[in-house]
Amino acid sequence: MTKALLLAASFLLSSAAWAQQPVRPLPKVGGCPLGYYSSGSYCVPSKNANTRGAIEKSGAGCPLGFYSSGNYCLSSPSNEREAIQKTGKSCPLGWYSSGGYCVNSR
């Protein structure tokens, strides 16, 4: 029993290290992305369990693991990574470049 608990705990800790795109309010840029609604100057995530994390679109495309929804990039359902907009020419340690974004490499 102890071995099974240790195995389960290590799995939970390792899967927690995989960062998904946070589902949180975003500054409103045009219309809101799929799964979000307008509230003042923000796009607020709906309480739907299928709402995905989003980031503002930077340039024409979205980073690997994301798809376009208006002026935003939504995380794909199978995506377990987080993305941020790239500042400068390189990404921080542990992140890789994907167009105008940096994506967490787990």
Query: What is the C-alpha separation between 45 and 48, in angstroms, rounded?
Result: 8
pLDDT for the residue numbered 19:
67
CB atoms within 10 A of CB 76: 15
Per-residue pLDDT at 94 exceeds 70: yes
pTM for this entry: 0.78
* Model pLDDT for residues 9-65, shown as the tens digit of each residue: 333 333 334 468 999 999 999 999 999 999 999 999 999 878 999 999 988 899 999
Sequence ranges of the domains in the chain = 19-104
pLDDT for the residue numbered 16:
39
Q: Which residues contact 51 (CB under 8 A, 6 or more apart)?
A: 23, 35, 36, 45
Q: Which of 31, 23, 79 is nearest to 55 (CA)?
A: 23
Q: Both tokens of residue 22?
A: 């946070």
Q: Which of 16, 20, 25 is nearest to 82 (CA)?
A: 20
